[in-house]
Amino acid sequence: MKAVLVTEYGGPEVLKYAEADRPEISPDQVLIQVEKTSVNYADINSRYGKKGKGKLPYIPGLDTAGLIVERGANVSHFEIGQRVIAFPASGSYAEYAAANKNLTYAIPDGLSFEEAAACPTVSFLSYKLLQDLARIQKGETVLVHAAAGGVGTTAIQLANILGAGRVIGTVGNAGKAEIAREAGADQVICYENEPFAEKVMEWTDGKGVDIILDSIAGRVTEESLDCLAPYGRLIHFGNSGGAPGTILTKDLHSSCRSVLGFSLGTTRKQRPEILQETAAKVLALLAEGRLQMKIGRHFALEEAAEAHRWVESRKSTGKVILDVKG
């Protein structure tokens, strides 16, 4: 089969479009003929070796959408030819991918492969952050960092769906502000141009926000505490800024504020069963049209290196899709 391989750790140039062995499945897995997959920032971190250096070469990719062409002996609730999304065990930048049955989910009728391919990582993650970790309450104010990206545009929509009273977005490039507004953000600020915490406090009449979704870390995390309201929850789920942030314990207990961490990757590995309910909720919202995936650009599978360059340029918005078939 054709696949994209990471042949060594480094920049986008290490991605090679080549022949690879078709995956063999275990009794608890399905084999998926991939229609489309998506580029996630974790793919880039993995390519640089930031996620730990394993065996080379390997096929990158966290999620996929396609058709089941083979199923293991222990798989009974999926059919050959069924449309599914999945978090594959063998990588997704390829014509075929193997996935465990408990990390595979049926695509509702009427939902396109494009929408389905864009949704698993960003929509499952956004729902978990807001509903299960932040425990969002009706009328609360939510601040979403990196608001024009795949997670950001999805989280903004879900915050509104789940009852937020106001959603504020931050972006690193002022040119991306309109993307966040189109997703449903009430107000947007560029954190590269001015201190966002001061503006947020002004917009909230000095009260601050109830929930902050932070995938950047560094000074963004530190400044976030300057606009987190009493009893507020800061959810940290990434380090795209590249530097760690410092949190002081004295900033938490007396204000009854919380800092919570979450990793979808860790959850897939250690507690995959808890994603079943998340999938049901998110896929229903997509099928009903209440949640819409924001697609930024498409690239052919053989253009994966160029897709990575685009995401790393920080110019990308929404989800970047790799078209594998058709």
Residue 326: predicted pLDDT: 54
The domains found in the chain, sorted by start residue, are: 2-119+293-323 (3.90.180.10), 126-265 (3.40.50.720)
- CB-based burial label for 24 (10 Å; 0-12, 13-18, 19+): exposed
Mean pLDDT, the chain, as a whole number?
94
pLDDT digits over 45-94, tens only? 899 998 777 789 999 999 999 999 999 999 999 999 999 999 999 899 99
Q: Is the pLDDT of residue 220 over 60?
A: yes
**Which pLDDT does position 317 carry in this prediction?**
80
**CA 229, CA 256: separation in Å to the nearest integer?**
9
Per-residue pLDDT for 168 more than 70? yes
Split at pLDDT 50, 70, 90, the class of 193 is confident
- Averaged pLDDT, 108-137: 96
| pLDDT at residue 308 greater than cutoff 90 | yes
Q: Which of 124, 140, 296 is nearest to 232 (CA)?
A: 140
> Tens of pLDDT along 90-108?
899 999 999 999 999 999 9
- Average pLDDT (246-253) is 87
pLDDT of res. 129: 98
Does the pLDDT at position 212 exceed 70?
yes
> Is residue 23 reached through a cis peptide bond, with omega within 30 degrees of 0 on the bond before it?
no
